[in-house]
């Protein structure tokens, strides 16, 4: 069989044609050597937009050779799922990198961010790489001169593509269009050449292996593979839905929007609003006009909102010792009528632009009013100093406007309304984020507990560094432990606050680190696997504890020599002995085979 992995999107990033055939599909459909083509799409369940992680094609080539192609259009797979990306590259016989010559931004991102990852993954293997520059440059007739710089600003030049190919030791192709000549003769010819080379190499390796095994008449005992480890599957992220649900629960509200006639419109949270918009940062004094350096944002803030603390508002009994909510009057009546839909858009992560357009069109029938409200939303999401012509902003570019996030407010006193005291230090935080992301803290700040009305909240049972890592996950939905022990401490903290997804992330980190540890390092490490097993069981991490038992059994010859092996319970010892690898039977057969080889005075080429 031949395995091909294709990375990148050859379509123009600004093109409206989403039905354009891909390079891989065009080749599979047109090549005379390909038959019995089938395809399947693998989706990422953690992604709200349901983008495909990769498309898998299976076909027959050269008559009876199985061809498997994984087409990954999104480079995000290197960020969101490193295990899958490494597995794809590790099993590839040929790698194809494709890009559009008219999408300079994507090419630059490929060159700066992902080429180093690919080079690192290919460090220990020699896999042929084909770089395909697809499309005709739109600003002028395509130029193949390596010294041409006329289209360097808007398009990817030939010299840039050749330079990238040199960095990867790859073959560079320019495909001006996906017609029969470029697909079959040009791209197909190069690809099929590498297919033949791969098949010849595999055939040669197979013959060498067969010759080695035939040198000794007496075969060594067959060592069976160890039992498969239990598979731990990660839990899908619910970060956006957690923050979106905060808009409905009305807990920890610290800002209320009113219409011009002082009628209550909707309640919200400063921390969420400021995390996506510099307009709200300016409104709530998180930043000053001198910090913004953008007159458009300042004008938008002044024209849309006004903070009002007059006594004409009804008195609210929040039942908390915190400051009363800030009252904001919305000056624009049309914008105010759509404010609820706009907040739903913001709390959902500010990326479902098409849905926001549909909701506003249902509410406002007048096209001018619809355009007016959408322009105001774009102004709210505007990044200082960028994209001055908002009318030319396309929907898929809206997300790029938002440069801030909750990470900006992590471990800072800005807008903080609760302070954790731990190991003599203080850690500022925001109740709204904690309530949205952690059910235990939601109950703590909403029930009949002292923490509900206190600003200073003591924390016991965890270290400051571990608690900071826990809060960082709540704010950013990401977790990067520095070691296995830190991951275990974070897992214990996550179990204490019942954040199951963080528990699973820590479990997967521990498993990945142990699996990548060489046998020599595993034998010499001071890390106690049995101690990890004890903690995993005590803190209800059943998947991790089961996996650790299998890990000890699979590496029986290493762990049976360690003093900690004696600390296993009777049931654990019985499990390990039952599933140990290699087995007693194999070791006995191996000893008999060695005695036979010694008695015959010959050398075993296998051993």
Q: Which tokens in the block code for residue 175?
A: 């495909």
Q: Which tokens in the block code for residue 452?
A: 């509900």
> Do the domains 2-37+52-139+154-206 and 248-310+322-385 sit in the same CATH topology, yes or no?
no
CA-nearest of 392, 449, 380 to 418 is 449
Q: Topology of 248-310+322-385 in CATH?
A: Potassium Channel Kv1.1; Chain A (3.30.710)
Q: Which tokens in the block code for residue 405?
A: 């996030």
Q: Classify domain 2-37+52-139+154-206 at the CATH superfamily level.
A: P-loop containing nucleotide triphosphate hydrolases (3.40.50.300)
Which residues does the chain have with pLDDT short of 70? 13-21, 30-53, 76-83, 124, 139-153, 211-234, 309-322, 385-404, 601-607
Using CA atoms, how far residue 38 sits from 20, 29, 34, 56, 331, in Å, is 19, 11, 11, 8, 58
User: In this predicted structure, what is the pLDDT of residue 39?
Assistant: 66
| 305 DSSP β-pair partners | 330
User: In this predicted structure, what is the pLDDT of residue 503?
Assistant: 94
Per-residue pLDDT of 236-269, as tens digits, reads: 888 888 988 998 887 889 999 999 999 999 999 9
| Helical ranges in 449-567 per DSSP H | 464-476, 484-496, 500-515, 519-524, 529-538, 542-554, 556-559
3-class secondary-structure state, position 54: strand
Which residues lie below 8 Å from residue 555, measured CB to CB, with a gap of 6+? 519, 522, 581
User: In this predicted structure, what is the pLDDT of residue 422?
Assistant: 95
3-class secondary-structure state, position 352: coil
Per-residue pLDDT of 393-408, as tens digits, reads: 555 444 444 434 788 9
User: In this predicted structure, what is the pLDDT of residue 358?
Assistant: 92
228 secondary structure, DSSP code: P
450 secondary structure, DSSP code: G
Assess whether the previous peptide bond of 582 is cis (omega < 30° from 0).
yes
3-class secondary-structure state, position 361: helix
Helix (H) or strand (E) holding 429, with range, is strand 425-429
- Residue pair 213/222 in contact by the 8 Å Cβ criterion: no
CA angle 247, 252, 257 (to 5 degrees): 60
Domain ranges across the chain: 2-37+52-139+154-206, 248-310+322-385, 507-606
Per-residue pLDDT of 478-515, as tens digits, reads: 888 999 999 999 999 999 999 999 999 999 999 999 99
Distance CA 38, CA 28 (A): 10
CA-nearest of 130, 151, 128, 141 to 176 is 141
């Amino acid at each position: 069989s031949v395995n091909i992995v294709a990375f990148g999107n050859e379509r123009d990033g600004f093109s409206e044609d989403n039905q354009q055939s891909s390079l891989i599909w065009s080749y599979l459909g047109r090549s005379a050597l390909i038959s019995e083509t089938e395809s399947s799409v693998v989706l990422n369940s953690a992604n709200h937009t349901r983008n495909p992680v990769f498309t898998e094609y299976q076909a027959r080539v050269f008559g009876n050779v199985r061809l498997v192609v994984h087409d990954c259009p999104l480079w995000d797979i290197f960020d969101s799922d490193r295990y899958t990306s490494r597995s794809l590259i590790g099993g590839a016989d040929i790698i194809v990198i494709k890009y559009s010559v008219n999408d300079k931004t994507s090419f630059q991102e490929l060159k700066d961010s992902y080429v180093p990852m690919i080079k690192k993954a290919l460090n220990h293997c020699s896999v042929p790489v084909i770089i395909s520059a697809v499309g005709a440059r739109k600003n002028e007739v395509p130029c193949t001169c390596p010294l041409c710089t006329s289209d360097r600003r808007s398009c990817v030049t030939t010299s840039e593509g050749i330079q990238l190919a040199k960095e990867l030791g790859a073959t560079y192709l320019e495909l001006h269009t996906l017609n029969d000549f470029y697909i079959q003769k040009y791209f197909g010819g190069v690809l099929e050449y590498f297919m033949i080379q791969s098949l010849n190499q595999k055939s040669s390796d197979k013959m060498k292996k067969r010759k080695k095994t035939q040198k000794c008449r007496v075969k060594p005992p067959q060592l069976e593979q160890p039992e498969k480890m239990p598979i731990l599957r990660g839990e899908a992220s619910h970060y956006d839905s957690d923050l979106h649900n905060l808009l409905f629960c009305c807990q920890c509200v610290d800002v209320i929007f009113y219409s011009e006639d002082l009628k209550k419109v909707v309640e919200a949270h400063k921390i969420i609003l400021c995390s996506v918009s510099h307009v709200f940062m300016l409104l709530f004094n998180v930043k000053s006009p001198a910090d913004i350096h953008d007159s458009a944002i300042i004008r938008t803030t002044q024209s849309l909102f006004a903070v009002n603390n007059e006594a004409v508002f009804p008195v609210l009994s929040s039942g908390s010792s915190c400051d009363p909510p800030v009252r904001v009057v919305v000056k624009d009546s049309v914008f105010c009528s759509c404010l609820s839909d706009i907040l739903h858009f913001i709390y959902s992560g500010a990326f479902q632009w098409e849905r926001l357009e549909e909701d506003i069109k249902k509410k406002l029938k007048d096209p001018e009013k619809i355009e007016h409200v959408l322009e105001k939303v774009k102004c709210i999401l505007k990044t200082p100093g960028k994209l001055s012509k908002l009318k030319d902003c396309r929907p898929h570019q809206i997300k790029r406007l938002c440069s801030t996030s909750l990470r900006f407010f992590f471990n800072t006193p800005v807008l903080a309304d609760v302070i954790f005291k731990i190991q003599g230090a203080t850690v500022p935080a925001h109740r709204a984020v904690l309530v949205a992301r952690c059910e235990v803290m939601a109950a703590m700040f909403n029930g009949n507990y002292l923490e509900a009305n206190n600003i200073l909240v003591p924390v016991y049972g965890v270290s400051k560094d571990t608690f900071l890592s826990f809060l960082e996950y709540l704010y950013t939905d990401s977790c990067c432990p520095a070691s296995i022990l830190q991951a275990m401490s974070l897992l214990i903290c996550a179990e204490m606050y019942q954040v199951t997804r963080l528990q699973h992330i820590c479990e997967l980190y521990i498993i990945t680190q142990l699996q990548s540890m060489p046998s020599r390092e595993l034998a010499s490490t001071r890390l106690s696997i049995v101690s990890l097993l004890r903690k995993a069981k005590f803190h209800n991490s059943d998947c991790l504890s089961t996996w650790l038992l299998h890990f000890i059994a699979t590496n029986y010859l290493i762990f049976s020599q360690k003093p900690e092996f004696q600390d296993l319970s009777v049931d654990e010892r019985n499990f390990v002995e039952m599933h140990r690898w290699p087995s007693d039977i194999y070791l006995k057969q191996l000893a008999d085979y060695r005695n036979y080889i010694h008695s015959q005075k010959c050398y075993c080429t296998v051993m």
